[in-house]
Amino acid sequence: MPFALLKYGLAKEHPEDPHFRWAPELKSTYDVVVIGAGGHGLAIAYYLAARHGITNVCVLDKGWLAGGNTARNTTIIRANYLTPEGVKFYKESVDLWRGLSNQLDINMMYSERGHFTLAHTDAAMRTARWRAEVNKHLGVKSEVIDADEVKRLCPTINISDDVRYPVLGALYHPPGAIARHDAVAWGYAKEAIKRGVEVHTQTGVNKILIENGRAVGVETNRGTIRAGKIVQAVAGSSSEVARMAGFLLPIRTIPLQACVSEPVKPILDQIIVSGSLHVYISQSARGEMVMGGATDPYGLYSTRSTLDFKESLMAHMLELFPFMGELKVLRQWAGMADMTPDFSPVMGLTPVQNYYIDAGWGTWGFKATPVCGARMAECIVDDRQPELLKPFALDRFRTFDLVGEKGAASVGH
């Protein structure tokens, strides 16, 4: 609308239409209190309001909106997992992602690039074949391709034999995508707030109030709130918050680091991952090479960066992509990843009544934001574990029903 733009440009006053209308005061009671305003917490609040008409909801965050892992991840979205339980779950997420920009009326820059999991050994080729078959069986596009085909689809990669770990082939997953992570959080927050949900930042939960085995409220640095139901979605702080509710989790908190290069012209369209080399890379819409590797080798509640990470990452990266030698690293950072023993999340009911959990997202939770939000909202409303989430119940560690998700190693996003 050029005229509208011209008028707007010449006008003296610019009518304000903020994305978020922050609620000034906390009420004393809500139907649902969501702890954690990351993508997951905001998505839960949005689906509670949009799908179930539950709008007396507040989302509390000790920091700022989506300042946790939602804004620290490398934004890879895919469904090419290994276990049938995992593939089904992430497939539903990819389906939701595809319509999300329209649904939330914000441009998430969702961009399907094709996701390549490189294999450098016969064993890795076998796993790729296994994953491809499970994927295809469940309707997820994945296939095994050889090194020449990798080169044809991704001309910048080095498939020479003259390296320490030559590329033998790859699991190729065409729907693999990236998205703008902040926009995901802003979109959910904006649409949830529009429907009456309140989001309170700088509001940390210090205590969960329990009466007769039921969660009834939370104590925050801004006072006490009563709640019909409470859900925690606090990524790297899951164990600490669950402890407030009185139970332990099968989780270790371990930093995961990433870095980006200075921005350059488009040169890499694909998402390239090597689980064996602990390396992954994609190019953002801004032109930065977004890179990550493995988790740190020991538990830590810290977001510090290390030199070891960069060194081990680059050693392999330069063999795969020699052109990277020309680029400078612009930024490096870390997020706290909650690792479970079976590399699968923990979602749903807890030992405490009216208290729900969304945790154990380790290094793989960004891609699950929509499906987790939608299904957790359903779980909270029905007070029952939805079919899709049954395999991911906390109880599985008591009954030995683990979901060994080898398609989710700490590198394989």
Partner 1 sequence: MKILTCPVNGPRNITEFVWGGEVKAMPDAAASDDAWTGYLFLETNLAGEIDEWWLHAPTNTWFIARRNTVTDTVLETMTVDAYFARRSGSAT
Ligand X SMILES: Cc1cc2nc3c(=O)[nH]c(=O)nc-3n(C[C@H](O)[C@H](O)[C@H](O)COP(=O)(O)OP(=O)(O)OC[C@H]3O[C@@H](n4cnc5c(N)ncnc54)[C@H](O)[C@@H]3O)c2cc1C
Phi-psi region of 53 (alpha: psi -120 to 50; beta: other; left: phi over 0): left
* Binding-residue total with ligand X (CB under 6 A): 41
Least Å distance, CB 116 to ligand X, is: 14
Select the span of 69-77, 125-133, 259-267, 324-332 touching ligand X (CB under 6 A): 69-77
Give CA–CA dist 226/323, Å, rounded: 57
Scanning the structure block, which residue is given the tokens 């620290």?
A: 72
Closest CA to 322 of 163, 161, 158, 152: 158
Tell me whether residue 8 or residue 64 sits nearer to ligand X (CB atom): 64
Q: Work out which of 365, 370, 391, 412 binds ligand X, going by CB under 6 A.
A: 365
Q: Work out which of 57, 96, 128, 241 binds ligand X, going by CB under 6 A.
A: 241
169 binds ligand X (CB under 6 A): no
Distances (CA, A) of 19 to 179, 239, 398: 19, 32, 44
353 has which bridge partners? 214
Applying CB under 8 A, the residues found at the interface with partner 1 are 237, 239-240, 248-253, 297-302, 304, 306-308, 341, 397-398, 400
Report whether 94 contacts 175 (CB < 8 A). yes
Give CA–CA dist 138/119, Å, rounded: 22
Closest CA to 334 of 316, 355, 358, 313: 313
321 binds ligand X (CB under 6 A): no
Tell me whether residue 256 or residue 371 sits nearer to partner 1 (CB atom): 256
Phi and psi (nearest 5°) for 223? Answer: 115, 180
233 binds ligand X (CB under 6 A): yes
Look at residue 397 and give the partner it binds from ligand X, partner 1, none, a contact being a CB closer than 5 to 8 Å depending on partner kind: partner 1
Which pair of structure tokens corresponds to residue 92?
């539903």
Least Å distance, CB 263 to partner 1, is: 30
Look at residue 268 and give the partner it binds from ligand X, partner 1, none, a contact being a CB closer than 5 to 8 Å depending on partner kind: none
Look at residue 301 and give the partner it binds from ligand X, partner 1, none, a contact being a CB closer than 5 to 8 Å depending on partner kind: partner 1
Q: Work out which of 47, 50, 68, 274 binds ligand X, going by CB under 6 A.
A: 68
Inter-residue long-range contacts of 135-139, CB under 8 Å, 24+ positions, other chains counted: 135/79, 135/80, 135/81, 135/87, 135/173, 137/84, 138/84, 138/87, 138/88, 138/91, 139/91
Least Å distance, CB 257 to ligand X, is: 6
Closest CA to 226 of 26, 41, 30, 383: 30
Scanning the structure block, which residue is given the tokens 């369209």?
A: 269
Least Å distance, CB 248 to partner 1, is: 4
Least Å distance, CB 114 to ligand X, is: 15
| Count of other CB atoms within 10 angstroms of residue 140 | 22
170 binds ligand X (CB under 6 A): no
Q: Work out which of 69, 93, 135, 350 binds ligand X, going by CB under 6 A.
A: 69
Least Å distance, CB 38 to partner 1, is: 18
348 binds ligand X (CB under 6 A): no
62 binds ligand X (CB under 6 A): yes
Tell me whether residue 3 or residue 298 sits nearer to partner 1 (CB atom): 298
Phi-psi region of 384 (alpha: psi -120 to 50; beta: other; left: phi over 0): beta
86 binds ligand X (CB under 6 A): no
Tell me whether residue 40 or residue 91 sits nearer to ligand X (CB atom): 40
59 binds ligand X (CB under 6 A): no
Spell out the alpha helix ranges (H) of 105-162.
122-137, 147-153
Select the span of 108-116, 162-170, 358-366, 380-388 touching ligand X (CB under 6 A): 358-366
Which residues make up the interface to ligand X (CB under 6 A)? 35-41, 60-63, 66-70, 72-76, 204-205, 233-237, 241, 256, 258, 292, 335, 337, 361, 363-367, 413
